[in-house]
Amino acid sequence: EVQLVESGGGLVQPGRSLRLSCTASGFTFGDYAMSWVRQAPGKGLEWVGFIRSKAYGGTTEYAASVKGRFTISRDDSKSIAYLQMNSLKTEDTAVYYCTGGYGDSFDYWGQGTLVTVSS
């Protein structure tokens, strides 16, 4: 059974940092691109960024709203993807979903972790 489990969410003050983790099981993690998608309360889905598999260079892409502040990385030996979030803003408040995709879609999703940025 495929599982993606996010952790690391919580309440953080504006300007501070937070690191989310996504632990995967049930599929060949190293073969998949790993993405982060967020959803602000009562709003739609917003792509945050992704990291390609090593076979495709392991490179990253980010949404303009987070570029320069967020960093996605992966540890294929542990089947974990990370989202390092720096200089957090109130508008970053959202449920953050980890997703895995082999092709051009988000095939698998975690249950999400809530990040609240507030003073």
φ, ψ of residue 31 to 5 degrees: the values are -85, -10
Chain-centroid distance of CA 98 in Å reads 5
Q: CA–CA separation, 71 vs 109, rounded Å? A: 19
The reply on whether position 87 binds another protein by CB under 8 A is no
Interface characters, 37-56, with another protein (x: CB under 8 A): x------xxxx--x------
Q: Which of 9, 93, 112, 116 binds another protein (CB under 8 A)?
A: 112
Which of 41, 119 has the CB closer to another protein?
41
Q: CA–CA separation, 21 vs 28, rounded Å? A: 17
Detail the DSSP E strand segments found in 26-64: 33-39, 45-51, 60-62
The reply on whether position 63 binds another protein by CB under 8 A is yes
Residue ranges in contact with another protein by CB under 8 A: 35, 37, 44-47, 50, 61, 63-64, 97, 103-107, 109-112
